[in-house]
Amino acid sequence: MNTKLYKSVLSITDHLMEAAQEQNQGTFDRHYAELKQLCEHNENSDKDHPVQWETLADFTDDLALAVTIYEHALTKAEALNSKDFCSSIGYSIGALKAELGDHSGAIAHLEKAKISSNKIIDKQLKSEIHDLLEELKSK
């Protein structure tokens, strides 16, 4: 991943978190628009990376729109064959789909995330994927 891109996304994320903590919607909206513009500007370039799209989805209040953005991020992660991003994004999609009442869609994404997570070292993420998947399958 491009270091400059990572630093840009991290900086914007810091600003978004600060605005959220201060409950400053105007500042939050400005930084969200900046992140969205960064994503759109880098689309289909050598700087296009799932981290920017996943972050954009993370800060999207509209759950259905967030799922759409996560799905876009997942496509980018799959193209890079990044098991870490496929796992985390798949988990996020599964969790949101469960929250939106799409039980079968949630399970499908979590099952794919679980397979991807077999190749990562993040034990907490592996556990969260497993636990949510088991919870949904038991319903």
Instruction: For 33-92, write each residue's pLDDT tens digit.
Output: 999 999 999 999 999 999 999 999 999 999 999 999 999 999 999 999 999 999 999 999
Residue pair 115/129 in contact by the 8 Å Cβ criterion: no
* Residues contacting 15, CB < 8 A, separation 6+: 27, 31
Amino acid at 128: E
Q: Helix and strand tally (H, E) in the chain?
A: 7, 0
Residues 87-122 have pLDDT tens digits of 999 999 999 999 999 999 999 999 999 999 998 999
Q: Output the pTM of the full model.
A: 0.94
User: CA 26 → CA 15, 22, 38, 56, 106, distances in Å?
Assistant: 12, 11, 19, 17, 33
